[in-house]
Structure 1
Amino acid sequence: MGSPPPAPPPNAFQFVWRNPWVRAAVFLLVAYLAYQLAGEVHTVLVDFLVAFLIAYLANPLLNWLQRGRVKRGLGVFFVVLLFFGLFALVGLLLVTVSGQLIMLFNKLPDQIGTLGDILDRMTAWLTERGVGGLTNAREQIIKGAQDYATNLGDNLVPLLRDALNSTGTLFNSVVQIGGVVGQVVLILLLSIYLMADYSRVNATLLGIFPRPWQPRALEFSGLIGTAVGGYVRGQLLIALFIGVFVWLGLTLIGVPSAAAIGFIAGAFNIVPYLGPIIGATPAILLALTMPNVLLTVILVIAVFVIANQIEGNFLSPYILSRTTDLHPVTVLVAILVGVSLLGFVGALLAVPLVALGKLALQKYYYPSRLYSEGP
């Protein structure tokens, strides 16, 4: 048998493309052009991403309904009704919570003044027993706390008050803007279409990639679903539990503004270590003004400790173990970096992106020859 014919020499394009620096420059140029294009159409792009996120979060429910012999279209109708119901419920809750937050922030300076009276009695009691040097420390603590509470109220109360119109409807002034209404309608229509044809849309997006890349792209989309989708769903469930638990617990104790404090506790629960402190601080300050101060403070602390223990020992390991499994310090650093880069949006995106990066390292980098043998 004769030897196979020699391969034809590479043409000029193939010869240049073999250079890794040329490929890197082309990829960077394409990424830059894509970034510029995204900046031009960012409004439409954001609308599509929000609609796709809604469809993505609703898809497990739609699949469950389909397994129960409910047609996809009817399931989408149920999901839309559920969405409107939740939207109305959240609006009513935000009205109540915003009003309670205004009252809470207005009360904080007075509550800290009450704390000062308690510290005065404690300082006098300790001074009588030979413990000195407490007066200056007491004054610095109270002054700092009062300044913090006053600044917090001055900054947030006007915003919350402006968000409520004369009928008590939250964000009504924003909804009246025609452009925002049109954007909401567009997102709703896009999400309905994406929910109805979710599998076809996924197949279309997958078809954009070259055929050899499609298995890897499909595998990577599964990682995104695990890291991002699972994390978002899990955190929403955990935040809902924390908020409701704290609200009910403080209501039973008789602490005022229980709904507002529950909202704060649930919203900041994503922040490790600091979240429970942020939620518990206003509750403890309000408890200091109630009868049976010591017992009330102990009960308030117990509510937050029990909620934190249930979340840390049962909910998070069960709900998030298959999604992120990140160390709390990693979560805290990711949130701080995200806030410094993109503000509130960065805080929301930081942990899912870090979780996705961790899963990508475990899936592709650690098993690779580059990791085991080196470059």
Structure 2
Amino acid sequence: MTQSTRWFWLTVGLISAGLLYFLAPILLPFVAGALLAYLGDPLVDRLEKFNISRTLSVVVVFFVAFLIILPILLFLIPLLESQIRLLFAKAPSYIDWLMVNLEPKLQETFGVNIPALEVEQLKSTFTDYFSHAGSFFKSLLRTVTHSGFVVVGWAANLFLIPVISFYLLRDWDRLVAYIHDLLPRDVEPTISQLAKESDDVLGAFLRGQMMVMLALGTIYSIGLKLVGLEFSLLIGMLAGLLSFIPYMGLIVGIIVAGAAVLLQTHDPMNLLWVGAVFVIAQMIEGTVLTPLLVGDRIGLHPVAVIFAVLAGGQLFGFFGILLALPVFAVIAVVMRHLNKSYKGSHLYGSPPESYIATDDDEASSKAS
């Protein structure tokens, strides 16, 4: 790579990063639309094999997705709303139980004394919010409608996401071919290989892991419902949503569900049933869901996943959180390629291949 070429790609990278940073507030519908188009492209490609036109295939995929998503939202949102209302309604009684049973032990063991005034303020906060807000989603809508620009922004995003997704999905293969044609011929094989590996990683995560998250959330919710937990759907879906970070959903789910069942029943023996639900769910995930839906192609360390999500949120807000893991998966593929290239270069200082002893050579020398 010549000096001018390096400066060219450095300039392109800096300009792209600057545009991404400054345009982040308006990029959410485009990123969401691109992700949906990426998820739907394999389905459209399969329909095209039956001699169905690309546009009609996209329409069919959109229609089927609408038929699947709409009933879920119509049933799920009211159930979640009712459980949130129930949580706010019962929070004061839970706080009273904690003060009666937990405060003496804290004071006896650690010398911690919880001021009664702060407890009463906390209870009044829950009571006031529940009595005035009425409905969680109505309250959210009321908060959003305080600003006309916010309403316009939300409406525009809700309208633009499916429109952008439709057009990107219709022209997806054409766009990929166009980008491939623009690549410099000397780096095209390397970039094509990196793109293929990145597609394997992104496909495994976006298509497989999301299905695992939904399946785990469903298993958690059903299991906690059988245990008798009142907030089974709310806690189960929360644990399923967090399961994209390895063990995070398990840890958070056990802690929250354990605290909830203890506050509800006051019987520590129910903690065993909660633990059994999560253990069985993890066994199903490890033996069935992950091997079947995801495989072992992601290869992202849990700490790296947490860092990617936090860094994306810090830099770009919700848009950054949405884009963090796909971008980090691609970066991980590129870093593995750079690591391999570095170890094969003179900078690493590795000896020539002819002087590297293999395991068979070592074994034969020991035997002699």
Counterparts in 2 of 1:153-172, with a 5 A limit? 164-165=137-138
| CA shift for structure 1 position 248 | 0.9
Query: Which deviates more, 53-62 or 327-336?
Result: 327-336
CA distance 1:50–1:289, change in 2 (3 Å): closer
- For 2:232, the equivalent position in structure 1 comes to 258
Residue 98 (structure 1) aligned with residue 99 (structure 2): no
2:84–2:136 Cα contact (<8 Å) kept? no
| CA shift for structure 1 position 141 | 9.2
Cα distance between partner residues in 1 of 2:124 and 2:312: 24
Query: Which deviates more, 328-337 or 54-63?
Result: 328-337
2:24–2:319 Cα contact (<8 Å) kept? no
CA distance 1:284–1:365, change in 2 (3 Å): closer
- For 1:9, the equivalent position in structure 2 comes to none
CA distance 1:57–1:372, change in 2 (3 Å): farther
Counterparts in 2 of 1:75-154, with a 5 A limit? 75-92=57-74, 93-108=76-91, 110-115=93-98, 117-118=100-101, 135-137=108-110, 139=112
Cα distance between partner residues in 1 of 2:217 and 2:250: 11
Residue 217 (structure 1) aligned with residue 188 (structure 2): no
CA distance 1:187–1:83, change in 2 (3 Å): same
Which stretches in structure 1 are left out of the alignment for 5+ residues? 1-16, 124-132
- What is the identity, as a one-letter code, of the residue corresponding to 2:39? L
- For 1:361, the equivalent position in structure 2 comes to 335
- For 1:5, the equivalent position in structure 2 comes to none
| CA shift for structure 1 position 88 | 2.6
Cα distance between partner residues in 1 of 2:142 and 2:68: 15
| CA shift for structure 1 position 139 | 4.9
CA distance 1:140–1:336, change in 2 (3 Å): farther
- The partner residue of 2:43 within 57, 61, 78 is 61
- What is the identity, as a one-letter code, of the residue corresponding to 2:33? A
- What is the identity, as a one-letter code, of the residue corresponding to 2:48? Q
- The partner residue of 1:51 within 26, 33, 43 is 33
- For 2:251, the equivalent position in structure 1 comes to 277
Aligned partner of residue 298 in structure 2, secondary structure? coil
- The partner residue of 1:191 within 152, 165, 176 is 165
TM-score of the superposed pair, with normalisation by structure 2: 0.74
Cα distance between partner residues in 1 of 2:346 and 2:291: 30
1:116–1:142 Cα contact (<8 Å) kept? no
2:27–2:319 Cα contact (<8 Å) kept? no
1:247–1:258 Cα contact (<8 Å) kept? yes
Superposed CA offset, 1:324-343 (max 9, x none): 12333443444444445445
| CA shift for structure 1 position 240 | 0.4
CA RMSD across the alignment? 4.3
Alignment length, in residue pairs? 345
Cα distance between partner residues in 2 of 1:343 and 1:96: 28
Cα distance between partner residues in 1 of 2:119 and 2:72: 32
- For 1:311, the equivalent position in structure 2 comes to 285
TM-score of the superposed pair, with normalisation by structure 1: 0.73
- What is the identity, as a one-letter code, of the residue corresponding to 2:45? N
2:41–2:169 Cα contact (<8 Å) kept? yes
Cα distance between partner residues in 2 of 1:104 and 1:94: 15
Identity %: 26
Superposed CA offset, 1:291-344 (max 9, x none): 582443221221122212322454334544443123334434444444454455
Which stretches in structure 2 are left out of the alignment for 5+ residues? 350-368
- For 1:8, the equivalent position in structure 2 comes to none
1:119–1:138 Cα contact (<8 Å) kept? no
Cα distance between partner residues in 2 of 1:152 and 1:313: 44
Superposed CA offset, 1:335-368 (max 9, x none): 4444454455544544444433332333453155
| CA shift for structure 1 position 181 | 3.1
Superposed CA offset, 1:246-265 (max 9, x none): 11112222211221112211
1:163–1:171 Cα contact (<8 Å) kept? no
2:85–2:136 Cα contact (<8 Å) kept? no
Higher relative contact order (CA 8 A, sep 6+): 2
